[in-house]
Chain A
Amino acid sequence: GEGGTIRIGVAGAHSGDLASYGIPSIKAAELVVDMYNANGGVLGRQVELVIEDDVCKPEVATNTAAKLVGDEVVAVIGHICSGATKAALGIYKDENIITISPSATNPPLTKSGEYPNFLRTIAPDDAQADVEVSFAVDTLGLKKIAVLHDKGDYGKGFAEFCKAQIEAKSGVEVVLYEGIQVGAVDYSAIINKIGNSGADGVIYGGYHPEASKLVSQMKKKNMDIPFLSDDGVKDPTFIKVAGEYSEGVYATGPVDTSSNPMAIKAVEDHKAKYGEEPGAFFLNAYAATIAVLNAIEKAGSTDYEAVSAALRSEYVETPLGKISFDEKGDAIGVGFAVYQVQNGEYVELK
């Protein structure tokens, strides 16, 4: 209520097999809120987090959203998966609740214009695909590309954009376009197929566990063609898991901000508080939380229209750099770059 605390919801997969993508955003929000509260809160009020699990399932996400609505949150950081986000947005939209996702990259979420209350601190899949394909074709000079994906909404969506963009270019063709089976014990069949297709490069849409299996099995079979992937793979865990096989792999990811002092501080704080390195989408969630709190402060109230306008007009300093949001809700200033694993580390290619 007025004068009381300001409530911010944090929603996403906090349990189950996708928890590792959701839990870092809780920690990010906690760190930011602690920081604000220590400095007297926002508009003189303390900020309180309401954390709700949606296990990344649309049907659970609607209940989660109803719970957050009932708890009178002003804004929600989340959800994590695009599917759950779409289901929950149906509810937030009717209740005028600002929703900022650190990780839902499905383009229609912003591009369709259906959800004016939705924003995100991550670039959409098509933007990423753009970067990926032009790198593959223009920089690496690939001519025959195999495009694979994990059949998930993120991976397949990304792969589709890649495919479309490759096909739009002349002199390049998609020689193989297929979904792989997540959790399969062995990928030799699909790898043989890549070999058989005569591809001179692979673009993979999906997350790092499958990617590392693919890469290592390819290398073991002495198949030495470039392997390019997405943000889901641009994760230090990938390098750890795939070990020497990860060497040379390309992945797109948000422009490197690790030298950003705020990012350095955020990671340090995380280590201090939780004793470990932060996980996936940590910085995006961190930025989202700062953006919301900053907008409330700038708007001078928790009123939806005011906060929404403030988010779009005010630039704010975040670990991702200085950002704001465009009309559709995509972050301005959050772009993609291509990285390559070199000597066991992702290095941004300029």
Chain B
Amino acid sequence: MSDAPVLEVNDLSMVFGGLRAVDNVSLNIKKGEIVALIGPNGAGKTTFFNCITGVYIPTHGEVKINTSEGSAVLNGLKPNVINEKGLARTFQNIRLFSNMTVLENVMIGRHQSLKSGILSSVLRTKKNRIEEQKVIDDSYEILRKIGLEMYVNELACNLPYGAQRRLEIARAMATNPFLLLLDEPAAGMNPQETNDLVELIERLRKEEDITILLIEHDMSLVMTLSERIYVVDYGKMIATGTPEEIKNNKEVIKAYLGEDIDA
């Protein structure tokens, strides 16, 4: 059981009009792994994420998860159901709830974990009050872990770009996922901030016991963090392997990395 990959994608395709943005991609991730998905711009990475998380309904293929609660097929489910099943994501083009505070953004993430209905919140039962306070405290705790506690009551839109990216991660973490999908988490960060982010992701994996699939163009981050890498180009999987293997793969160098890659 523990050997079965937590996420299993088989022959996934996504077609827009005549464009095969994702073309027969298969991929699997084991529990606790950090896996990177890289590839040139427009290769179909984000589309791949969208298919897994239910934003798009894939044209073809299967997305499956295996957890302690058994396995489940995700295709065709709504994004919120998929999130309930334990997949959380961040967005490449930041999509925070911009006119809500940082804390509230994270509290939204906790939505699923709340049990009380409208009636008990209107009557403000004791159970409800305790639950509400717990959401607040939990959310604050998450912000603290991610290092955003100084912004709690700021509006999300007033945060600097890098902080917004981290808030995306915090919000995703709040949904208690077992698998976290990060779309270019380091975009817009300077090298120093990227280093901090590497540390943060490492820590999240260790402390929160989650599996991570990330898309990133910053090779220093990809190479240090990930255990395995998948490379796509024009929607097709062109290579897979450890960072070392990928770094030396001719095809990948030609399509994506370029000759002189430092790191």
- Direct A–B contact present (CB less than 8 angstroms): no
